[in-house]
Amino acid sequence: MIYMTRKNIINLFILVSATLIFIGCSKQDCPEEKGFTPAKEAKLDSIFAAAMTSYEIPGAIVGIWSPEGTYVKTKGLSDLATMEPMNVNNHFRIGSLTKTFTGTIVLKLVEEGKINLDESMAHYLPQYKFPEADKITVRMLGNMTSGIFDCTRDQQWIEHNRATNWETVYTADSMVKIALPYPLNFEPGTKYNYTNTTPLILGLICESVTGKTMKQLLVEKIFEPYHLDQTIWPDNRYLPAPYSHGYSKENSTREFKDMSLMNPSFAGASGNLISNVYDLKKWIRLLGTGALYSTASHQERLNWSSVSQNAYGFALENLFGVADPEGFVLGHSGAIWGYNTMAYYIPSVDMAIVVHVNYYSRGEKLPASSLLMDMITVALD
């Protein structure tokens, strides 16, 4: 573990910012793409630099791809201990962006006739005796209207992990059982409430109807066919090189704490995947264009829950919550201790944007979200 004060990190950021901080991919891996106009690129650079200080971000990657131009740059530090600059090829934990992968597996299994969105979780997983489980459909599990408690909000679980430095290994079964004693937040289907429990349940359903693990399903149905070679389901707490170190400030001194080697097993099908900016660029385009499955399945994905004010479909966010497709910004946010990533696709202008920040502390505003909103406003101008 390494700890750094706010003064230390700002001084280091200034030092690194004075050097060349853009590290690109090879020409073979990343063919030449036209940039934005010099004026727009300068404005993006200015916004990016200001956000680093304003949001106290150790390091970040921003990638924007559109017919108008491409912008892929890094700022800050990947490793505070060695002062290694952020590398655009770094792997990082993508947190809840994992939910979009899980939702895709579910819809692919629907197309294969192995899952029915209108069937209840009690039908598929009778061993989990949630209240009104016979009324909670697979669709409700995917669009966050089930009413099931978020297992990662259990205070006893949180305190245990803090005491053990987040090294405990969990299974999806053990995490779902944390939520079992809690009453439903509301009658199934009547309200929206974001939870990390239901994607874990979806993963268990997928495993139950196929006899395969979620890792196997992701490799067979997504990673291999769509050539997401840098996206992985981790079997342990380590990230493949090169990777961004992830930091949080969960202690009273507000010093940066390296959370890179926390065990992500608790997140499972809800948030444990690792990827990089270029794979997420591919993924978010596939997701946003509907290239992953039939038109009917894509429409199901965009079947916004009215109780979420059009902001959430089937394991997919609609960033601005608008009903008009011209205003759709499709994707998902992702936050897991030490890492915060946002990836969205804007169909109306064929724009993909990915923002990765190697900092996140539980309960705080998402720094990547703030940076993304700053950058997207300029990119769309």
Cα radius of gyration (the chain): 20
Q: What is the pLDDT of residue 252?
A: 72
Taken in order of first residue, the domains within the chain and their CATH numbers are 3-379 (3.40.710.10)
Q: What is the pLDDT of residue 32?
A: 55
| pLDDT tens by residue, 248-281 | 986 677 889 999 999 999 999 999 999 999 999 9
| Range in 5-19, 69-83, 312-326 with the lowest mean pLDDT | 5-19
Model confidence at 364, in pLDDT bands (50, 70, 90)? confident
List the structure tokens of 80: 């505070």
First CA to last CA distance, the chain: 42
Query: What percent of the chain is predicted at pLDDT more than 70?
Result: 91
CA 166 to chain centroid, in Å, comes to 19
Q: Is the pLDDT confidence value at 12 over 70?
A: no
Residue 40 near residue 69 (C-beta atoms within 8 A) = yes
| pLDDT tens by residue, 175-215 | 999 999 999 999 999 999 999 999 999 999 999 999 999 99
| pLDDT tens by residue, 72-91 | 999 999 999 999 999 999 99
DSSP per-residue codes, 118-177: TSBHHHH-TTS--TTTTT-BHHHHHHT-S----GGG-HHHHHHHHHTTT-----HHHHHH
Model confidence at 7, in pLDDT bands (50, 70, 90)? very low
| CA nearest neighbour of 221 among 301, 101, 330, 317 | 101
Pair type for strands 247-248 and 256-258: antiparallel
Q: Is the pLDDT confidence value at 55 over 60?
A: yes
- The structure tokens 């200080």 sit at 53
Q: What is the pLDDT of residue 45?
A: 97
Query: Which phi-psi region, left, alpha or beta, contains residue 301 (left: φ > 0; alpha: ψ -120 to 50)?
Result: alpha
pLDDT average, residue stretch 146-159: 97
| Range in 216-225, 250-259, 283-292 with the lowest mean pLDDT | 250-259
Distance CA 343, CA 376 (A): 11
Burial (CB < 10 A; 0-12, 13-18, 19+), residue 236, is: exposed
Q: What is the pLDDT of residue 251?
A: 67
